[in-house]
Amino acid sequence: MMNSDILKTGERLDDLQCRGYHIIQNKDIFCFGMDAVLLSDFATSKPKGNVIDLGTGTGVIPILMKGRDKGAHFTGLEIQEYSADMARRSVVYNNLSEDIDIVCGDIKEVPCIFKAASFDVVTSNPPYISETHGLLNETEPKNIARHEILLNLEDVVKAAAYLLKEGGNFAMVHKPFRLAEIIRLLSKYRLEPKRICMVQPYLDKEPNMVLIEANKGGKPMVKVEPTLVVYNKDGSYTEDLLHRYESDK
């Protein structure tokens, strides 16, 4: 398939450096970041698992998790039709139509879209920022992706709990300053935190991301993993970061 056959005005085709997979993006809409890549590496799954990504955007997490054999079938749920359309075209371009479904829908309406307890793994890279005051345009796709305009953190956790089978895992990337809130909400919906990994840009800087995984109905016990440092002093990526970006795991 020629690039010109799948790309619309303003779009580009980016190499994911994973089994030859590519993804369609539009920098004026939204492009995935390091957080999505790290989440796809961090999430625990099984080769035969059924996985759903909430707020999938252009579908990067399902595609990367497929490339890492972290499931048998993947679903991406995305409320913004244009992003969902890009995700669907990326799935077709990568010949993954039998492995990945993209559904356009609202996370708050998952009971109307999916059966309860129908997934082994739920992932999400949700909007981080709760404050929306000062935004010039709340319907701007980038603002929707970054700010809790269409949903809040509890909506995401509640949906994950509904979708997960007993014993299933929910993996999420978020901001450390909301960790206490995250843990409270996970416990409220019987999602027991099991793994936490802080991510900091440099060794001497405070963490700016947290990766957290919870188990539905699990017993209380959490493992705090070694902090991931992204950059060396000279600005190059650390060996740990490069290892997590590898696609041949």
Q: Is the pLDDT reported for residue 102 higher than 60?
A: yes
Domains and CATH numbers, the chain: 11-245 (3.40.50.150)
Residue 20, classed as helix, strand or coil, is coil
Q: What is the pLDDT of residues 1-43, one digit of tens each?
A: 556 578 999 999 999 999 999 999 998 888 899 999 999 999 9
E strand spans, 12-163: 12-15, 22-25, 50-54, 73-78, 100-104, 119-124
Task: Kindly indicate the confidence band of residue 149, based on its pLDDT and cuts at 50, 70 and 90.
Answer: low
* Closest listed residue to residue 60, CA positions, set 123, 8, 154: 123
What tens digit of pLDDT does each residue of 60-97 get? 999 999 999 999 999 999 999 999 999 999 999 999 99
- Record the tokens describing residue 94, joined without a space: 């990568």
SS3 call for 52: strand
pTM for this model (two decimals): 0.92
Whole-angstrom distance, CA of residue 65 vs CA of residue 107: 20
